[in-house]
Amino acid sequence: MNEKKHSLATRCIHGGRRPSPADCAVVMPIYQTSTYLLDPDAQADLEAGRPPASTFYSRMGNPTVAAAERRIADLEGAEEARLFASGNAASHAAVMGSLAGGAHLIASKFLYGGTQEMIKHVCANSDASVSFVDLESQAKLEAAFTDKTRALFCESLANPTLELADIPHLARLAHSQNAKLIVDATFASPCLQQPLELGADLVMHSVSKYLCGHSDLIGGALAGSAQEMAAVTRQRSHTGACMDPHAAFLVDRGIKTLALRMRAHCAGSLALAEFLEQHPAVERVLHPGLPSFPQHERARLLLKDFGGMLMFTVRGDDRAATAVLEALKLALPAVSLGGVETLVSQPAYTSHTAMTIEERRAVGIPPGSIRVSVGIEDPQDLIADFAQALDG
């Protein structure tokens, strides 16, 4: 793991790369090229049947992409990181690397709907299998393990219910069963948590969200040990799911302000959550920073701050929630999250639309639920916007 000599805020700017006389650009340039001159090292690797360690072809590696990967690895305390064309591609690579030979995967039943559908598709088209389990039920979790279980997949903060995974416990349990723990830490970002330090084997991010921070690219990342990343790298090369260098440039630029943005996201979301919890039109608010949150004490232990996401339920049904979204004048009704602007969406019509009402209830998403990705606007302006929308 990388030695952490400086604070995370400093490493957001300087981690992974320092200009030198041989690489003198203060900002990493965009290497917009598909291929490179073959050097002796690359030729020797190719002749030996190994992936070239040096730059060879941009599907396998690109200097701009590599610079952003080193910065992410530094923030996560990982030996290596790899960038992908999307968060789903990164999750797919992590899952595929764990399911060879009829293996079994355990996944949280509270996963993002898109990830659930991807895992179901992978298993349906192979000899692998998956069990979706409530990770808070120790009995059900232990019973789900078989002699073919090779991985446990969870989100550090579930989308959209914000259920907080007990990563140290899950890691110990997985390792005792000869399985690895894969954690999607998109909601937390490296500013709030480093899952590898808590025992996880792979950490995944949709870099479209907080790492980029400006809602202007699609991408994903995986980070872990060199041993774990070897299979990930092969999977990316085989599927061609590499990130474009211009997107990697934007990721690298976005990370430089990550620590500043996350402080604003966290402060604004807590202020809005506290307001919503007192509003008579709101039935329930889920935010890790609220004492009423079911895992508030766990959040105090496992997170450095409480994040920029919240979910609340208005009294009524999904139509009542739609009316609130339509009345907002500042927050934007849109999918995705982690950008500088506040985004609101209804899981029933977006991330979890493939589920029935009963299935959504079972994973903590009752009718009237609204997910909010709080941006970096003035919190009082956001509170005023939600107040007028809820007051009708």
Catalytic residues: 59, 112, 184, 209
Residue 262 is predicted with a pLDDT of 98
Residue 190 is predicted with a pLDDT of 98
What confidence category does residue 2 fall into, taking pLDDT thresholds of 50, 70 and 90?
very low
When the pLDDT of each residue in the chain is averaged and rounded to a whole number, the result is: 94
Mean of the pLDDT values across residues 60-81?
Answer: 96
pTM of the model: 0.94
More confident residue, 22 or 143: 143
pLDDT at 1 over 50: no
CATH 3.40.640.10 location in the chain: 8-30+61-255
More confident residue, 102 or 370: 370
Counting other chains too, the contacts that 187-190 makes at CB distance below 8 Å and 24 or more residues apart are 187/155, 187/156, 187/157, 187/158, 187/159, 187/162, 187/307, 187/309, 187/337, 188/156, 188/157, 188/303, 188/307, 189/258, 189/262, 189/338, 190/8, 190/72, 190/75, 190/76, 190/258
Cβ–Cβ < 8 Å for 189, 150:
no
Mean of the pLDDT values across residues 216-233?
Answer: 96
CATH 3.90.1150.10 location in the chain: 258-391
Dump pLDDT digits (tens) for 315-362. Answer: 999 999 999 999 999 999 999 999 999 999 999 988 888 788 898 998
Dump pLDDT digits (tens) for 84-102. Answer: 999 999 999 999 988 888 8
pLDDT at 106 over 80: yes
Dump pLDDT digits (tens) for 133-179. Answer: 999 999 999 999 999 999 999 999 999 999 999 999 999 999 999 99
What confidence category does residue 4 fall into, taking pLDDT thresholds of 50, 70 and 90?
low
pLDDT at 250 over 50: yes
Residue 42 is predicted with a pLDDT of 77
pLDDT at 45 over 60: yes
Which CATH architecture is the domain 8-30+61-255 placed in?
3-Layer(aba) Sandwich (3.40)
Residue 40 is predicted with a pLDDT of 83
Percent of the chain beyond pLDDT 70?
A: 98
Q: Which residues pair with 285 in a beta bridge?
A: 312
Question: Could you give the CA distance from residue 196 to residue 219 in angstroms, rounded to a whole number?
Answer: 21
Residue 249 is predicted with a pLDDT of 98
Mean of the pLDDT values across residues 232-252?
Answer: 95
CATH number assigned to the domain covering 258-391: 3.90.1150.10
